[in-house]
Structure 1
Amino acid sequence: MLIAQVTDIHLGFDPDNPAEFNRKRLDQVLRALNDGPNRPDLLLATGDLTDRGDADSYRRLANAFSQCDFPVWPCMGNHDDRAHFAAHFPHIPQEDGFVHYAIAQDGRRIIMLDTLEPGRHGGAFCERRAQWLAARLDEDSITPTLIVMHHPPVEVGIDWMNTHPEEPWVRRFAATIAGRPNLQAILCGHIHRSAVAPWKGTTIAICSSTAPQLALDLRPMDPDAPDNRPMIVADPPAYALHRWTEEGLITHFETADDHVMLAKFDGSMQLLVRTLMNERP
């Protein structure tokens, strides 16, 4: 199974602009997925789908996703609004006031979580959400499973976007997934950069954004002492491809910019390709 992931679209950052920068970046990624060599079986859109949670941005997001030749499964981020989202994505399940649901496909399972708490930038995972997730994990302890959520429950080293490991929601989430041998990975967004980390016996893979990226600066930050460091940079719009095999998840991070080709598979490269492939059992 090949799973694509986009995240942190922030549609509507430039409201009322039909040529919005963030929409152009999203369309660029979707074209790469539709028309490129790696068309996925499905697309996960992992939160901050819009910038302000307004209804018109969700309408335009639904229009953008309508060009996809594969199913699109979204989840909530801290910039999202559940009610406005539901009005334009009525086919996405909601339960007990949260946008969380499970997808079964090809003998595997993907659990989409809702870590939105209105008015809070960081993540949330209350007792009701923990009970729902525990029930989903308890009902099937065999099928290979991914958890998908906007907020990563791990420190990434970028001070102003870090999650503290002792936050109550992180401890609650860690307790809920403990002892689940069929949990193969956790896919997240929020950081606007690609990162991979081991965590609680599984792996967290964080996807870069289609909107502009965060600058990579791992120095400590003093909120009372602005130091003119870069915070947001206009790197190319990005996405992830997760190749889910019998052995587990292999994640590739890619940008949607044009790449300069330095070699192609023609007669001059045929011997090299044949030699490399013949080395295998």
Structure 2
Amino acid sequence: MLIAQMTDIHIGFEPDARPEELNRTRFRATLDRLLAQPNTPDLLLVTGDITDRGDRNSFTRTAEMLAECPFPVKALVGNHDSREELLRAFPGTATDEHGFIQSAFVQDGLLVVSLDTFEPGRHGGAFCTKRRDWLMTVLEEHSDTPAVIFMHHPPVVSGIAWMDPDPSEQWIANLAAALEGRADQVQAIHCGHLHRQLNARFCGIPVSVTPSVAPLVSMDLRSISSDIPDSRSLITTEPPTYALHRWDGTNIVSHYERVCDWETIAYYSPHLQPMIREMEAEKGTG
């Protein structure tokens, strides 16, 4: 199974710039690349901050573009979004019994879990006891099935202080309680929100952040103070990125591709065939 991931598109950041809005241009380029690249996903997960202001028009425009995908698209909610408008734009979106946008399904022997970490009016994550209990139940019901979790907010501290949670926040404790003893079952947690690639561990489980489609957050690990505007770089125009998460029935491996101009400098032509044969022979697959 191949799961594509895009995150943090932030359509509507410049509402008066349509259709030349920078975020829309970056999204168009990323979507075009995803559709043109040679690996057809089974599913695209858009892991939150689909819009910048949670407005209906931005959700509608984004959903219209995503409708071009010849594979299913599932949307998760981020802190810039609105549950109500997301559900209106993506009417097939599943919710749990409490109305949170989270769901789980099994395909090719992998349990794919999507979590809702949104709380209106809050920049950081949220994961209440109802969501905690839902996740605990899902994992227990599929305790013999390997799992992967997708969510918007990473539950780890990156060192980019203005974007980081306080590690003592209750939502992180609730998530940890749901994942206690599940490191053998949960293969990976994939997030967004940080606008920058990150690899870490949480409760013994690998955590990865896919970089944003919208402009990226600068990699500045110095401390920051709201009392001292020190003119540091906060946001950059580094290229947008999407991810492909490949499940082979045993392991999940993640690939990340930046979307920008490049040239191919080698094609699989007859003069490179001996190299491929040699590599196959070395692995015993020729």
Q: Mark yes or no: TM-score above 0.5.
A: yes
What is the correspondence of 1:1-281 to structure 2 with a 5 Å cutoff?
Answer: 1-16=1-16, 17-95=18-96, 96-180=98-182, 181-281=184-284
How far apart are 1:204 and its partner, in Å? Answer: 0.5
How far apart are 1:40 and its partner, in Å? Answer: 1.0
How far apart are 1:242 and its partner, in Å? Answer: 0.8
Number of residue pairs matched?
Answer: 281
TM-superposition CA deviations, 1:43-100 (whole Å, max 9, x none)? 1100001000001111111101101111111111100101111112111012312111
How far apart are 1:3 and its partner, in Å? Answer: 1.0
How far apart are 1:148 and its partner, in Å? Answer: 0.8
How far apart are 1:126 and its partner, in Å? Answer: 0.5
SS of match in other structure, 2:5: strand
How far apart are 1:39 and its partner, in Å? Answer: 1.9
Unmatched 5+ stretches in structure 2: none
SS of match in other structure, 1:22: helix
Q: Which moved more, 1:62-71 or 1:269-278?
A: 269-278
RMSD value over aligned CA atoms?
Answer: 1.3
TM-superposition CA deviations, 1:180-221 (whole Å, max 9, x none)? 232111110001011111221211111001111111111222
Q: Which moved more, 1:251-260 or 1:43-52?
A: 251-260
How far apart are 1:223 and its partner, in Å? Answer: 2.3
1:4 maps to a residue whose letter is: A
1:5 maps to a residue whose letter is: Q
1:15 maps to a residue whose letter is: P
CA distance in 1, matches of 2:149, 2:240: 24
CA distance in 1, matches of 2:61, 2:210: 22
Q: Which moved more, 1:16-25 or 1:72-81?
A: 16-25
Unmatched 5+ stretches in structure 1: none
Alignment TM-score, normalising by the size of structure 1: 0.96
CA contact (8 A) 1:9 1:210 kept: yes
CA contact (8 A) 1:194 1:253 kept: no
How far apart are 1:262 and its partner, in Å? Answer: 2.3
Q: Which moved more, 1:90-99 or 1:108-117?
A: 90-99
How far apart are 1:263 and its partner, in Å? Answer: 2.0
1:39 maps to a residue whose letter is: T
CA distance in 2, matches of 1:37, 1:93: 29
CA shift in 2, pair 1:20/1:103, >3 Å: farther
Q: Which moved more, 1:147-156 or 1:260-269?
A: 260-269
Alignment TM-score, normalising by the size of structure 2: 0.94
CA contact (8 A) 1:161 1:191 kept: yes
1:58 maps to a residue whose letter is: F
1:162 maps to a residue whose letter is: D
CA distance in 2, matches of 1:213, 1:40: 24
CA distance in 2, matches of 1:175, 1:23: 38
CA distance in 1, matches of 2:165, 2:271: 50
